[in-house]
Amino acid sequence: MKIATWNVNSIRARQERVLDWLRTAQPDIVCLQELKCTDADFPTDAVREVGYHAAVHGQKTYNGVAILAKEEPRDVVKGLSDGVDDTHARLIAATVGGIRVVSAYAPNGQSVDSEQYHYKLQWYERLRRYLDSRHQPGEPLVLGGDWNVAPADIDTYDPKEWEGQTLFTDKEKAALRKVCDFGLKDAFRELYPDVQKFSWWDYRMLAFPKNRGLRIDHLYVTAPLASRLVASDVDREARKGKQPSDHAPVWIELRS
């Protein structure tokens, strides 16, 4: 089974690129983020034509997440459902092939002195409570998403340059670790603890050709799935060409 996650940075702007990638990469499940469209505007029919069902939690202009799968997603849950007044479409969950799949788009945080940064840290606390209230570490669970955190020095091209900046602050890394302490493993790092690969590159300053990136898109799995991991990678080719997303798809393969 192949499971991927990809921040597409506007599904309408990137629709043909996404469809082409689905045709060629043939993942069984894909977690998408930053759709920037409502449920009604999501290209459900076009996605179905290339063999995928879609569960969508959209939002006009901003955010938006989805789960695409060859098998129809079941038991769909949208949002953190914790009673907090939050209109951001940042999480959707569904069951596919006996696996509970969560697609998440963590807040960016903007700058460390902003309200958005505090919202980001609170959102991570809410996510941990969501996991505690709905799941067990012993169940097959995968969380794919744009986490907007580079967890370690190896996950940035220049730790000194990024020190103290949003996406790499100690508080953000600690918030992500607390979520992982639920019983989640970083799938890529489980297989490749010392390999440096990035999933996001700024559009500016030739960041992509210079490979000045960050690894902020991750797939996290519980122990039953971690034991089935056979491969993981970043599809750097999908970041190339005309009008790409600034993120590349990240994928894992599980043995049956």
Residues annotated as part of the active site:
105, 146
Sign of CA pseudo-dihedral 116, 149, 177, 76: positive
How many other C-beta atoms lie within 10 A of the C-beta of residue 128?
16
